[in-house]
Amino acid sequence: MLFKVFPVCELNRLFAVLQSERIVGPVKKGEDQHGRILYDFDVVRDFSDLHLDFTQTIHSAKKYFLPYRENLCTFTFKDGDWQKEVDYGGSAPLIFFGLHSCDINALNKLDKVLLGGRYPNSFYAKNRAKMFIVGHSCTPQPFCFCKSMGTDSAIHGFDLFLTRLDGIYFAEVLSARAFHLLENIDCRDPDSEEHRRYLEAIATRESMFVAHVDTSDLTKILDLEFQAPVWKEWGERCLSCGTCAQVCPTCYCYGVEEHVDMNFAHGRKEKMLYSCNLLDFASVAGGHNFRPESHTRLKYRYYHKHRGFVEAFEESLCVGCGRCGQSCLAGITVPEVIASVRASKE
Ligand code: SF4
Ligand code: SF4
């Protein structure tokens, strides 16, 4: 990794150099009922719309590489039979400008399943191959527990990562493209004083985390507490709305629907992101539902994140971004659920 510094005023030029491609970044999206600004990822055409001082976006960035709806293939009835066509096309090149460490680590985790797993996803691979990622440091919010999940800093999965210091950006450069990009602006190597200021900024940020999840021996505890009554208590609160999965940067479960046109000449198979908390997630042909109760569905979401994924990849699928807890109308948060399970006594 290389380190560079450049004046804050140069960021506008960096943005302009990248602007020949589609740029997605954090933008303002109104206010909540307490007057707090809401942010979300969107296409940014004007530098002044980019808000790198954002707290957290409502949704993750996943809709740009794991769309909520995606055509898997189309069918045409021709010469007495169905002809199948698959287009892995992928989206146009995409610049992510301002991803926080948690969201970069979320992408790294999705890569493990969707690129490196037993069944690589060609649609995802096409989208992923065309990305350029500019990360940006964050100010920990009261609901962020990424530090507990080991995702509070990103060491790979980006091209350029920016930390704002007084008057300058301290840049971590990971790719050749990022290195050459910086040749377009007034940029230089940092001096020892700037190294010191950068390390000081990291230490200050580290001290700002409030929320915490105790992950020690968590997989064993989840195995031991599979039948704990506390799961039913959370299940009674859960509305089975599926919001948590929709805002989560690492939830990738999906359903598949087949549609046939009324003239029976064309059809398509469509994939849509789904949530394991929705009532019919575990319903199968014949009408049987393997998880008819909300607590079993909620429990399995936690077991996938904090138990099954750890067994498969030796890391949790949760990056501690806190979005699910922030969006949940029932006020269900990961730190509270895990703490209650750890404290369970049957
Ligand atoms: S957002 Fe909350 S209420 Fe909705 S499914 Fe998730 S945990 Fe349940
Ligand atoms: S489970 Fe919640 S806290 Fe964890 S990555 Fe998903 S949205 Fe973020």
- Tokens at 35, concatenated: 């007057």
- Among 240, 276, 281, 302, which is best to mutate for testing ligand 1, by the most ligand atoms less than 8 A from CB? 240
Give tens-digit pLDDT for 103-144: 999 999 999 999 987 889 999 999 999 899 999 999 999 999
State the Cα–Cα distance between residues 217 and 22, nearest whole angstrom: 43
Measured CA angle at 300 (ends 294, 306), to 5 deg: 140
- 321 CB within 6 A, ligand 2: yes
From the CA of 57, the nearest ligand is 2
State the Cα–Cα distance between residues 41 and 285, nearest whole angstrom: 37
State the Cα–Cα distance between residues 185 and 86, nearest whole angstrom: 42
- 178 CB within 6 A, ligand 2: no
- 144 CB within 6 A, ligand 2: no
Q: How high is the pLDDT of residue 117?
A: 75
Q: How high is the pLDDT of residue 345?
A: 57
State the Cα–Cα distance between residues 53 and 139, nearest whole angstrom: 8
Give tens-digit pLDDT for 221-254: 999 999 999 999 999 999 999 999 999 999 999 9
Nearest CA to ligand 1 atom 8: 238
- 228 CB within 6 A, ligand 2: no
Q: How high is the pLDDT of residue 201?
A: 97
Nearest CA to ligand 2 atom 1: 318
Cα 223 to ligand 1 centroid, rounded to whole Å: 22
Q: Which residues contact 108 (CB under 8 A, 6 or more apart)?
A: 154, 156, 157
Cα 312 to ligand 2 centroid, rounded to whole Å: 18
Q: How high is the pLDDT of residue 33?
A: 87
Number of domains observed in the structure of the chain: 1
Is the CB of residue 82 less than 8 Å from the CB of residue 264?
no
Using alpha carbons, select from 298, 267, 274 the residue that is nearest to residue 76.
267
Using alpha carbons, select from 125, 136, 301, 151 the residue that is nearest to residue 213.
151
Ligand 2 atom closest to the CA of 325, numbered from 1:
2
Ligand 2 atom closest to the CA of 244, numbered from 1:
7
Is the CB of residue 7 less than 8 Å from the CB of residue 20?
no
- The distance from CA 344 to its chain's CA centroid, rounded to whole angstroms, is 30
Q: How high is the pLDDT of residue 224?
A: 96
- Give the domain extent around 22: 2-81+88-342
Cα 249 to ligand 2 centroid, rounded to whole Å: 7
- 335 CB within 6 A, ligand 2: no
From the CA of 294, the nearest ligand is 1
Q: How high is the pLDDT of residue 89?
A: 79
Cα 43 to ligand 2 centroid, rounded to whole Å: 23
Q: What residues are in contact with ligand 1 under a 6 Å CB criterion?
A: 238-244, 277, 298, 328-330, 332
- 98 CB within 6 A, ligand 2: no
Q: Which amino acid is at 197?
A: R
* pLDDT by residue, tens only, the chain of 346 residues: 899 999 999 999 999 999 999 999 999 999 998 999 999 999 999 999 999 999 999 999 999 999 999 999 999 998 899 999 999 877 788 999 999 999 999 999 999 999 987 889 999 999 999 899 999 999 999 999 999 999 999 999 999 999 999 999 999 999 999 999 999 999 999 999 999 999 999 999 999 999 999 999 999 999 999 999 999 999 999 999 999 999 999 999 999 999 999 988 999 999 999 999 999 999 999 999 999 999 999 999 999 999 999 999 999 999 999 999 999 999 999 999 999 999 975 5
Is the CB of residue 103 less than 8 Å from the CB of residue 61?
yes
Cα 143 to ligand 1 centroid, rounded to whole Å: 16
State the Cα–Cα distance between residues 267 and 333, nearest whole angstrom: 41
